[in-house]
Amino acid sequence: MAKTFLTKKNNAKSTTTDNPLLSGATVLNVQTGDGVKFPSAPFHATLYSSDPSVGEIVKITTIVTDQFTIERAKENTTAQQWPQGTRLELLVTAKLFDDFQTRTEVIVATDGSGDYNCDGTADQTEINEAISNLPAGGGIVRIKKGTYNLTGVVEILKSNVILEGEGTATLLRVANSANLGDVVRIGNGGSVSYTNITVRDFMIDGNQANQTSGANSPLVLWGTASYKHSKLTIENLWLTGAKQDCLKVIAIEDSVIKNCYIYSNTGTAIGLFTSSQYISIIGNVLASNSYGIYDNACNYNTITGNVIRNNGYGFYVNSGWREVFTGNMVFTSTNYGVYLVGAQRVAVTGNHFYGDSWSIVVGNSTNATKYNVITGNTITYPTSQGIALYYGSGTTVSNVISGNHIFGAGGHGIYLYGSSFNTITGNAIDNASRNANNTSNSIYLSNNGSVYSTYNVISSNNLHATQTNKSAYHIREQSASDDYNLAIGNICNGGVTAQISLQGTNSVRGTNIPASG
C-alpha cells in the first residue's frame, strides 16, 4: 500500500560549465552527459557553492542535452553571478511541498506505478485517500487498469472531482463476502451539496454471487431533498452484479447518465428517487435487470436513445410527473415495456417495442394516472396487449393515445379497462388477436363490473385484420355501461364477428368505413 506522491530523479545534480554564469543569464550549461540525470522540465533546482541555504533557486523550463533554459530568482531567492563549477542540484524546496499540497491530478495503480498503489486488499483505502487528498478545489483521480478489491465504500465528498479509469480494464470489484451496501458513492445523504463531479470509464462489479448477506448497489448518487447534488456526469461505465438497485439516484438534479452498460442485476438498472429532476438518461444499454429504469415520484427527466431489453419492466414510473421517454428501443420485457402508475403529464413518444408481454400500460394504482401522451410508437408482437389504459383502485383518465403503430398483438391492440375521457386517434393497428382467432379486438373498451370505460373518443384509426388469426371486432364496448363513447372516422377491415360494436345507448357511431357491420 505504498504511496509515491511525486515523480523526481535521485542524484539529479551536476556543476555548471559557464565561466561565469551572469546574474541576468537565462541559459546555463552542465557537465557533458549530466543533462539526463535531471527529470523532464519544468522543475525547480538550486544553484549553490557550498551552502544551499544561501543559494539561488531557478526554474528549469526546457532541457536540450546539457543546456538548460532557466528563470531566475525563484521562491524569494536573489539572482546572483555564479562561477564555473557551481553546483546545480534538485533539492527539496518549498515549491515541492506546495506542488504536493495542490496537485490536481493523481494516479491510482496496482502495478506500483501510481501516486497511490494498491495491493489487492481493501483497495478502497488508497482510492479514498487519493480523492480526499485532492485540494479543496477538486481534481482528477485516474485509476489505471487492474482489478481493485473493495471491502468498503469508495466515496466522493467534494465538488469538482473526476474519477476515471481505463475502460473495462479497470475493474472495481466487491471482495468475496464483503457484504457491502453501497460500492461507489457520491455524497452520503448529509447536509452538504456537491456539484461538478464526473465518474467515467471503468467497471464496477457488485459480485452478488459471492456475497452472503446485504443488498449492494454498485453506484449510488446520494443527496437529500434539502441538499441535492447537481451537475453530475456518469458516463461510459459497466455496472453489474447488484443485489439491489445498480445505479441509484437519490435527490439529484441537472445531471447526465450516458453511454453506460448496466446488466445482470437482481434489482433496477437505474433507479430515480426523492424528487430527482432535470436528469438526462441517454444512450445506455440496460439488459437483464428486474427493471430497466424505475422512477419513484421524480419529475422533468428525459430518457432518450437507450436500449432496454430482457428486463422485467422497461420503464416504470410510480407517481412521476412530466417525464419524457422518447426514441428508446424496448425489447422482450417479461412484464411491461412501459408502466405508468399514478403518473401525470408523461410523454412516451417515438419508441420501438418488440416482444414485450404488455408493451405500454397506463394506470392501475391508488393514484390518478392522467394527462399522459402516448404517441408515435412502433409496437410489434406483444404477447398480450399493445397499449392498455388500466383502472386499478385509482383512476385512469384524460390520456391521449395517438399515431402509434401496433402490429401482431397477442391480445387487444388498445385495451381500455375502466378508463374514461381518453382520446384514441390516428393509430394503425394490424392483426390484433394474434394468439387466437376471433377472441380479442383492435380497440376494446371494458370494465371491472363497477368502473366502466366512458366518454372516450375513438377516431381516425386504421384497423386491419389480414393474418390467419383475426380480431373479433375492431372497436368493441364490453357492455351497455361502457357508454358515452364516440367512434368516428375509423377504417375497419377484416373483423371476424363485426367491425364495430357499441353497446352503450348513449355511445355514438359516426361516419366510419364501413358504415355498418
pLDDT digits (tens, 9 = 90+) for 55-75: 999 999 999 999 999 999 998
Average pLDDT, the chain: 94
Residue 95 has pLDDT above 90, yes or no: no
pLDDT at 424 over 50: yes
pLDDT band of residue 244 (cuts 50, 70, 90) is: confident
Across the range 139-147, mean pLDDT stands at: 98
Asked if 364 contacts 338 with a C-beta cutoff of 8 angstroms, the reply is no
- Res 6 pLDDT > 70: no
pLDDT class of 2 with cuts at 50, 70, 90 = very low
pLDDT class for 517, splitting at 50, 70, 90?
confident
Of 86-95, 400-409, 428-437, the range with the lowest mean pLDDT is 86-95
Bridge pairing between strands 87-89 and 13-15: antiparallel
Q: Tens digits of per-residue pLDDT, 452-464?
A: 999 999 999 999 9
Q: Which of 101-110, 137-146, 208-217, 462-471 has the lowest mean pLDDT?
A: 101-110
Residue 203 pLDDT level (bands cut at 50, 70, 90) = very high
pTM equals 0.84
Q: Which residue has the higher pLDDT, 394 or 216?
A: 216
CA–CA separation, 241 and 245 (whole Å): 10
In percent, how much of the chain has pLDDT > 90?
90
pLDDT at site 365: 79
Q: What share of the chain is helix, strand, coil (3-state, %, to 5)?
A: 5, 45, 50
Contacts of 169 by beta carbon, 8 Å cutoff, 6+ apart: 145, 146
Confidence of residue 286 (pLDDT cuts 50, 70, 90): very high
Q: What's the grid cell of residue 227?
A: 441538499
Whole-number pLDDT of residue 98:
62
| 109 close to 146: Cβ distance less than 8 angstroms | yes
Q: What is the DSSP letter of 226?
A: S
pLDDT in the model for residue 165: 98
Q: Is the pLDDT reported for residue 7 higher than 50?
A: no
Strand, coil or helix: 61: strand
Distances (CA, A) of 347 to 247, 301, 335, 354, 373: 23, 11, 20, 19, 5
Q: What is the β-pairing status of strands 67-74 and 27-29?
A: antiparallel
Please compute the mean of the pLDDT values over residues 329-348 and round it to a whole number.
97
Single-letter code of the amino acid located at 449: G
Sign of torsion over alpha carbons 270, 148, 210, 187: negative
Residue pair 233/196 in contact by the 8 Å Cβ criterion = no
- Rounded Cα distance between 17 and 191, Å, is 61
